[in-house]
Structure 1
Amino acid sequence: MTDSIRIAAWNVNSLKVRLPHVIRWLKDQEQANQPIDALCLQELKLTDDKYPHQELEDEGYVSLAAGQKTYNGVAIIVRKAALAPIASDESTTFLKQARNIPGFEDEQQRILAATIPFAGMQPIRLISAYFPNGQSPDSDKFAYKLNWMQSLEDWLVQELQSNTRLALLGDFNIAPADADVHDPKAWEGQNLVSPPERAAFESLIKLGLCDSFRIFEQTPKTYSWWDYRMMGFRRNAGMRIDHILLSDPLKEKCSASFVDKLPRSWEQPSDHAPVVAEIAKE
């Protein structure tokens, strides 16, 4: 048994296309003796009946998914070997499940939450989140984004009261600071970096969460998303819009947080890279 667990988030931009990448990455981490114990996916772009439960089960992972045709969709994948002995199937692995924000009517599948009983530590409440893109600050989609984030914040207040060990992971579609943008001047005032979005992100932090990436000294110009166009990845013209926010008890146990850029360099990649946080056990 290792003395820590690793949790991660990855916008795969179509699980049907990227399933081989997901399995490859998970197996690579295992072979390096640095396994990913829980992986939160975003942008599945497939319905629940098309979700590859069996393929992941065959590799040693159990998962929970909230799918949607063509768009959105989120999942939580857990390494079976990392679970407490009692957690042997979905009913005992994914406790207190929640799909989408309670009380917020929305056909878009963007939130999936469950409490995971990892071996050797107290359970952790994981929330896999795919924040709306927003399109542009003058659009209806932007208003929806801010409304969605306010509803998320209201729900998180309740979640944190009953789950002190909570991690919010996913594609936030927000670069919280200029240091998270390859060219802040060119992006000034635009979607993903606008003042209202950054203020909404900061409101989440003020609930008692922290940006795990910023706990540690990081290499400048580290990003998690690069546009497919104009050789964005090759030029490192990216943004850090994928995040792992941790409640205070998990922040105190966090020993590392980073972006793994390698999968972005693979053939036919997602435009996002996985982000990872390491949490020490008690």
Structure 2
Amino acid sequence: MKIATFNINGIRSRLPGLLEWLAREAPDVVCLQELKAGDSAFPIAEINAAGYGAIWQGQASWNGVAILQKGGDPIESRRGLPGGKDDTHSRYIEAAIDGIVIGCLYLPNGNPQPGPKFDYKLAWFERLIAYAAALLESGHPVILAGDFNVVPTDEDIYNPRSWKKDALLQPETRECFERLVAQGWTDALRHVYGDERIYTFWDYFRQHWQTDSGLRIDHLLLSKHVAARLKTAGVDKWVRGQPHASDHAPTWIELGAAKTTRRAAPKGAV
């Protein structure tokens, strides 16, 4: 089972690239972020024609999240994090697929900082931390996947010096991510690649793609039941090199089959 997360950075304008990737890599589940399209503008006909069902929460021009399922329709379990009564941003959607709860999220960028956008980022992060704890306590297999807008450590960026003032690297941001993972989540890419540098995002400036000057900000966090099934993980970098590409590349994991507990045969059975 292959599960991917991809900040598409505008689903209407980058739809051809998305469809090409779906056809070539054939992920079973896809979490999309930054749709930048209202609900009615989501290209569900094209997604269906590619062999995927979908749920989505759009927002015109900004934000927006979706979950795609190959050969089926995701069963929606939540949209929006708890505690966001006045929050109008489309940043979280959740579905049950093949026995796994999959939360697709687009965490606020937080720039410029300090300021109200950074305050909103931290407040949203606290809501995520609280809800993530509840998901773990439920005992269900869970994946939190998306653009977290967090560079966890200096090993997750080509050079932290020029990004020191960016919201993605602030101590408060990193501390939130550390507390989240410490609940019992497995950071899939870091688990698979160890100390090896691996990036998921290359901005459009200063030839950063051409020089592989990237950041790791797209993450898949796995509960223990899912982590036990983790076979491998990776980044489809070729997508970032395509014409008119998003500044992110699809990031994915592959899971083995779920282990089943075999019941003992009753006494006397042959």
TM-score of the aligned structures, taking structure 2 as reference length: 0.91
Pairs within 5 Å for 1:214-253: 214-217=190-193, 220-253=196-229
**Residue of 55, 59, 82 corresponding to 1:102:** 82
**Residue of 42, 65, 75 corresponding to 1:74:** 65
Pairs within 5 Å for 1:11-22: 11-22=7-18
Deviation (angstroms), 1:218: 5.6
Change in CA separation of 1:74 and 1:101 when aligned onto 2, cut-off 3 Å: same
Q: Could you say which residue in structure 2 is the equivalent of 1:25?
A: 21
Q: Could you say which residue in structure 2 is the equivalent of 1:153?
A: 129
Change in CA separation of 1:111 and 1:163 when aligned onto 2, cut-off 3 Å: farther
Task: Report Cα offsets for 1:151-209 as digits up to 9, x if no partner.
Answer: 11111222222253100000011010111111023323532111110100011101211
More divergent stretch after superposition (214-223 vs 179-188) = 214-223
Residues of 2 paired with 1:42 and 1:16: CA distance? 13
| Secondary structure of 1:17 counterpart | coil
Q: Could you say which residue in structure 1 is the equivalent of 2:157?
A: 181
Q: Could you say which residue in structure 1 is the equivalent of 2:261?
A: none
Matched, 1:257 2:227: no
Instruction: Output the amino acid matched with 2:79.
Output: R
Q: Could you say which residue in structure 2 is the equivalent of 1:211?
A: 187
**Residue of 83, 97, 115 corresponding to 2:96:** 115
Residues of 2 paired with 1:241 and 1:216: CA distance? 16
Residues of 2 paired with 1:157 and 1:216: CA distance? 24
Q: In 2, are the aligned partners of 1:125 and 1:163 still within 8 Å (CA)?
A: no
Residues of 1 paired with 2:35 and 2:128: CA distance? 20
**Residue of 90, 94, 102 corresponding to 1:126:** 102
| Structure 1 unaligned residues grouped into runs of 5+ | 30-34, 81-87, 118-122
Deviation (angstroms), 1:229: 1.4
Residues of 2 paired with 1:236 and 1:140: CA distance? 32
Residues of 1 paired with 2:35 and 2:109: CA distance? 15
Task: Report Cα offsets for 1:83-107 as digits up to 9, x if no partner.
Answer: xxxxx5x4xx314x21110221210
Residues of 2 paired with 1:221 and 1:263: CA distance? 19
Residues of 2 paired with 1:165 and 1:17: CA distance? 34
| Secondary structure of 1:266 counterpart | coil
| Secondary structure of 2:245 counterpart | coil
| Structure 2 unaligned residues grouped into runs of 5+ | 259-270
| Secondary structure of 2:101 counterpart | strand
Deviation (angstroms), 1:46: 0.4
Residues of 1 paired with 2:243 and 2:126: CA distance? 38
Q: Could you say which residue in structure 1 is the equivalent of 2:35?
A: 44
Instruction: Output the amino acid matched with 1:127.
Output: G
Deviation (angstroms), 1:24: 0.4
Change in CA separation of 1:124 and 1:153 when aligned onto 2, cut-off 3 Å: same
- How many residue pairs were aligned? 257
Instruction: Output the amino acid matched with 2:186.
Output: C
Q: Could you say which residue in structure 2 is the equivalent of 1:54?
A: 45
What is the RMSD of the two structures over their aligned residues, measured on CA atoms? 1.4
Q: In 2, are the aligned partners of 1:13 and 1:270 still within 8 Å (CA)?
A: yes
Residues of 1 paired with 2:122 and 2:195: CA distance? 30
Matched, 1:193 2:169: yes
Instruction: Output the amino acid matched with 1:243.
Output: H
Deviating 4+ runs (over 6 angstroms): none
| Secondary structure of 1:192 counterpart | helix
Matched, 1:9 2:5: yes
